[in-house]
Every structure is written in C-alpha cells, then in structure tokens.
C-alpha cells in the first residue's frame, strides 16, 4: 500500500552490536519477503524487509551501514518514523520439506518466512551463516520455532567453519540421510545465492534480491534486472527459479542510485 503513515517506535531490541530490531504497533498485513520504505524526513527513504509481523504489530531489523541506518540507530522508543508499504512479492509457503539458506544480515527476511512455514506444517531446516560470530542474527529466534538450525561462520568462531553454501552443498549431495528437499529459499549476498544456485540441481527455489530501490512502486526503473526488465520492487524482491534462471545480470552487476551498472 503506497499510503504514507507515521508511527511511533514501540520497542527497540539489540540483535548484535550493529543490528537492531524496531517494532511498531500497527496492523501491516505483510507477507514474508515483503518490504517497507521508511524515512524520518531528515534525508533519504530506505527499503527494509519486514522481519516479523502479527495481528497488531510488525518489526524491521536493521544493520547499521551508512548515513540513514546510523541515524535510525540514534532513535529511541517513542520517536516517530514514517513508512509506506508493505511492497513487493512474497515467498511461496510450502508445507513440504524445506531448506532455508541465509547469509549475514541477509537472513533477516527468513525469520518471518520460517514462522509462516512452521504454521503451514512444513519440515524446516535453516542454515544460518555469517562471516563471524558477532554477525549472526536470529539464531535464538529460529531455535524458538523448534526447527532444525545449522550455524556456520566463515572464520569458525561459532558453529561449523565455512559458508552456508558449503553446508547446503553437503546436505543436498547427501543421498543417504534422505535429506531430500521439496523447496529451497535463500536470502543473502547475491554472490552467495549464485553459488547456491550452482548446487541446487533441479529442486524448486526462491531467492530474495536486495537491489537499490527508490520509488518502490515500479515507476523509476532503478531496480530492473536484465534482460527481463523485472522491477524488483513490484515483481520482486522474491523471485522464483524460472525467472532467476533467465537473469543475465544475476551475480554480475548491480545498479547504484543513478541506475549505473556496478560490477560485483
């Protein structure tokens, strides 16, 4: 919904030293994978995934990166923010055996997905990876859902040493323990998702893309992907296998605020 509303921050929680969750009391009706545009009217409006959503409240979970997110980190409970949304496509909710693969703060949209999959009765495994222990998000929240969770860190400071794709590859190649998945979901850096695509085989999947967004309503064209011209703010950010396979720019380049292509 493109109507702007101004909301009070009801709760702020620390997830890691540079990731916080902000909760607002508002019925948003967002589905897993959807995002909002948020501003404090002091410069910039930014896309952020809905990390949790219930009848009367929703949350966003934010990594401090640059100017806007640093300013957001200065906000206190009771301060006001203005939002539009929720926007975009959402994840398919399977009731089969599913694997969720997350990398770094890219894992953020996977929590609401895991919650909805759990309600649908899916058999869920999550690989939650990050560069180092301090960058891991939502490990406890995933555990609270009672689902299988495998934690990986690139430097081995927590869980298995290596990337989430290394673990996914091992699980998908292991025919003996009957880890046969019906559906795979991934969220994280594009290079991670591209590596994952290479080991998925013929299993159906959906990936969520975080590209530079400005209008979020399909007008400016900044978030289109070659050669299909898919607007990630409308037809995405969640894309199914049949579309991802046709994207020639996937893992090769993205666009900056001016629309200029930047090589990964």
Q: Provide the binding-site residues for ligand FES, judged by CB under 6 A.
A: 213-216, 218-223, 231, 233
**CA 92 – CA 31 distance, rounded (Å):** 10
Interaction partner, residue 105 (ligand FES, ligand FAD, none; CB < 5-8 Å by kind): ligand FAD
| Binding-site size, ligand FAD (CB under 6 A) | 21
Is residue 119 a contact residue for ligand FAD (CB under 6 A)? no
Q: Token pair for residue 21?
A: 């969750």
H runs (alpha helix) in 121-189: 139-144, 164-173
Q: Which residues contact 103 (CB under 8 A, 6 or more apart)?
A: 129, 130, 163, 164, 187, 188, 189, 192
Binding residue (CB under 6 A) for ligand FAD from 91, 105, 181, 185:
105
Q: Which of residues 75-104 bind ligand FAD (CB under 6 A)?
A: none
> By C-alpha distance, which of 22, 116, 146, 147 is closest to 78?
22
Q: Which residues contact 46 (CB under 8 A, 6 or more apart)?
A: 37, 38, 39, 68, 69
Q: Which is nearer to ligand FAD, 31 or 46 (CB)?
A: 46
Binding residue (CB under 6 A) for ligand FAD from 135, 211, 215, 235:
211
Query: Nearest distance from residue 245's CB to ligand FES, in Å?
Result: 21
Q: Token pair for residue 12?
A: 């702020």
Q: Quick one: DSSP state of residue 30?
A: P
CB 187 within 8 A of CB 107: yes
Is residue 218 a contact residue for ligand FAD (CB under 6 A)? no
**CA 196 – CA 155 distance, rounded (Å):** 19
Query: Nearest distance from residue 3's CB to ligand FES, in Å?
Result: 17
Q: One symbol per residue from 36 to 75: x for binding ligand FAD (CB under 6 A), - otherwise; what is it?
A: --------x-xxxx-----------xxx-xxxxx------
Q: Which residue's Cβ has the minimum distance to ligand FAD? A: 66
Query: Nearest distance from residue 221's CB to ligand FES, in Å?
Result: 5
Helix 190-200 with 164-173: angle, nearest 10 deg: 10
Is residue 35 a contact residue for ligand FAD (CB under 6 A)? yes
Query: Nearest distance from residue 22's CB to ligand FAD, in Å?
Result: 10
Q: Token pair for residue 185?
A: 């979901």
Is residue 23 a contact residue for ligand FAD (CB under 6 A)? no
Residues that bind ligand FAD (CB under 6 A): 35, 44, 46-49, 61-63, 65-69, 105, 108, 210-213, 237
């Amino acid at each position: 919904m493109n109507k702007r509303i101004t909301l009070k921050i009801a709760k702020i929680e620390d997830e890691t030293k540079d990731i916080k969750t902000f909760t607002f009391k508002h019925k948003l009706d967002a589905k897993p994978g959807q995002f909002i545009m948020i501003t404090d009217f002091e410069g910039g409006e930014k896309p952020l995934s809905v990390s949790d959503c219930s009848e009367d409240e929703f949350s966003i979970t934010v990594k401090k990166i640059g100017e806007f997110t640093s300013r957001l980190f200065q906000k206190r409970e009771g301060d006001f923010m203005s939002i539009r949304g929720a926007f975009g496509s959402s994840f398919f909710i399977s009731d089969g055996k599913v694997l969720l693969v997350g990398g770094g703060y890219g894992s953020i949209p996977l929590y609401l997905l895991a919650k909805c999959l759990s309600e649908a009765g899916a058999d869920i495994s999550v690989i939650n990876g990050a560069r180092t222990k301090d960058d891991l998000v939502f490990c406890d929240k995933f555990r609270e859902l009672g689902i299988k969770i495998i934690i990986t860190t690139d430097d081995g400071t927590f869980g298995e040493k290596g990337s989430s794709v290394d673990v996914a590859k091992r699980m998908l190649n292991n025919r003996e323990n009957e880890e046969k998945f019906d559906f795979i979901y991934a969220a994280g850096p594009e290079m991670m998702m591209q590596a994952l695509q290479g080991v998925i085989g013929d299993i159906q999947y959906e990936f969520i893309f975080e590209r530079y967004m400005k209008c979020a309503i399909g007008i400016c064209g900044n978030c289109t992907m070659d050669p299909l011209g898919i607007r990630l703010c409308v037809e995405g950010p969640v894309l199914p296998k049949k579309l991802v396979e046709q994207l020639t720019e996937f893992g090769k380049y993205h666009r900056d605020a001016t629309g200029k292509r930047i090589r990964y």
